[in-house]
Amino acid sequence: MRVIGSINMDVVVEVERAPGTGETVLGSDYRLHPGGKGANQAVAAARLGAPVDMIGCLGQDAYGKALHEALQREALGLDHLHHVDTPSGAAFITVERNGQNRIVVAPGANAQLTAERLPSDLERTDWLLLQLEVPLETVATAARRVRSGGGRVVLNAAPARTLPDTLVEAVDYLVINETEAGVVLAVDPPTHAEDALQLANRLRTKHSTVVITLGAKGSVWSGPAGQGAVDALPVDVVDTTACGDAYVGALVWALSTGQPMWRAVELASANGALTATRAGAQPALPTIQELRCFASF
Ligand code: RIB
């Protein structure tokens, strides 16, 4: 499996509640955690046992060095990490007492991941996992190249933006949360599974499967093999950062090992729920042993 995406240093502050416009609030001391949707999803899949190559850009700065070292501690292929003369990506995150977060990303080096920096043998990829924190043109080019080689393409459309048709056509699995689905379709976010299934049906192509996650309300999917819904497992939420990444990483790991869609969604959902019980992005991502124990399989 290959993951093409962002690598960020997360600067995290816990707050009683997020500030409103023009308001200042006092928070906790800040903490630094390795993050970035691309890196988080790569680490999530690798901790469950998937062989993963990470393709991305880091700055030649202290954060870049720390992020590279963090990725080296995971079982990831890092031959296609580029070190560029731009500050590393960073994300500024507030986490409220109820575990909900707000994130602002400064893309930095991630914006330097141009299509020219993609590996020359990309067409030989079996599973490709993409998000939208690196240039859209790179994402679309990578998706088309992998699909032309017969590989499977998974896109987590986060952060949400309008998707070009050429990208949509190259995607086999589109994973999106309820807010992002609302943005992409310019409608109100779905509030329950039936609404979400309708949006999934609008978003899917003839060959693609769409998964919409609904946080504590579970997730739904619709594709050529059918449709379904799973409830979220109830947990005591500490921090929802990277829950979506844990979900997507687990989904692709499960699909790449031949699990049927319903089972892959169940495992993804459990991995996301377990991640919500711990603080931070990559520090919170479960190992296969932890997932087995939590989801009893
Ligand atoms: O999905 C969570 C991630 O979004 C954080 O780790 C942050 O870096 C942003 O990319």
Instruction: Indicate the top mutation candidate among 7, 9, 32, 40 to test ligand 1's pocket, ranked by most ligand atoms within 8 A of CB.
Output: 40
Alpha carbons 270 and 253: distance in angstroms, whole number:
13
In a domain, 25, yes or no: no
Cβ–ligand 1 distance for 180 under 6 Å, the answer no
Using a 10 angstrom Cβ sphere, with 0-12 exposed, 13-18 middle and 19 or more buried, the burial of residue 20 is: exposed
Residue among 244, 268, 270, 276 nearest 37 (CA): 244
In a domain, 107, yes or no: no
CATH number of the domain that residue 225 is part of:
3.40.1190.20
Residue among 104, 111, 70 nearest 88 (CA): 111
Cβ within 8 Å of residue 83, ≥6 positions away: 57, 58, 59, 60, 64, 68
Ligand 1 closest atom vs CA 33: 6
In a domain, 97, yes or no: no
Q: Torsion angle of alpha carbons 145, 150, 156, 161, nearest 10°?
A: 40
Alpha carbons 239 and 100: distance in angstroms, whole number:
6
- What pLDDT was estimated at residue 27? 97
In a domain, 101, yes or no: no
3-state secondary structure of 175: strand
Burial 230-266 (b: 16+ CB within 10 A, else e): bebbebeebbbbbbbbbbbbbbbbbbbeebebeebbb
Active-site residues: which are they?
245
Residue among 274, 220, 272 nearest 245 (CA): 272
**Which residue range(s) make up the domain with 52?**
2-6+37-88+112-295
Cβ–ligand 1 distance for 145 under 6 Å, the answer no
- What pLDDT was estimated at residue 297? 83
Cα(37) to centroid(ligand 1), Å: 5
> Looking at the DSSP assignment, which residues form a beta bridge with residue 53?
2, 77
In a domain, 95, yes or no: no
In a domain, 149, yes or no: yes
Cα(151) to centroid(ligand 1), Å: 26
Cβ–ligand 1 distance for 8 under 6 Å, the answer yes
Ligand 1 closest atom vs CA 281: 6
In a domain, 58, yes or no: yes
Q: Which residue has the tokens 């393409």?
A: 153
In a domain, 12, yes or no: no
Running along the chain, 297 residues long, what does each successive block of 10 average in pLDDT?
A: 98 96 97 98 98 98 98 96 98 94 97 98 98 98 98 97 94 96 93 95 96 95 96 95 98 97 97 97 98 93
Cα(244) to centroid(ligand 1), Å: 9
CB 253 within 8 A of CB 48: yes
Cβ–ligand 1 distance for 213 under 6 Å, the answer no
Give how far the C-alpha of residue 282 lies from the chain's centroid of Cα atoms, to the nearest Å: 11
Q: What is the value of pTM for the model shown?
A: 0.97
Cβ–ligand 1 distance for 103 under 6 Å, the answer yes
Instruction: Indicate the top mutation candidate among 43, 105, 129, 156 to test ligand 1's pocket, ranked by most ligand atoms within 8 A of CB.
Output: 105
Residue among 177, 11, 4, 133 nearest 80 (CA): 4
CB 24 within 8 A of CB 143: no
Considering its fold, how many domains does the chain have in total? 1
Ligand 1 closest atom vs CA 101: 2
Ligand 1 closest atom vs CA 10: 8
CB 115 within 8 A of CB 137: yes
What pairing do the DSSP bridges indicate for beta strands 152-156 and 127-130?
A: parallel
- What pLDDT was estimated at residue 241? 96
Q: At what angle do helices 193-203 and 178-185 cross, to 10 degrees?
A: 50
Instruction: Indicate the top mutation candidate among 33, 103, 129, 275 to test ligand 1's pocket, ranked by most ligand atoms within 8 A of CB.
Output: 103
Cα(167) to centroid(ligand 1), Å: 22
Q: Going by CA atoms, what residue is nearest to atom 10 of ligand 1? A: 36
Q: Residue 12 is encoded by which pair of tokens?
A: 């995290």
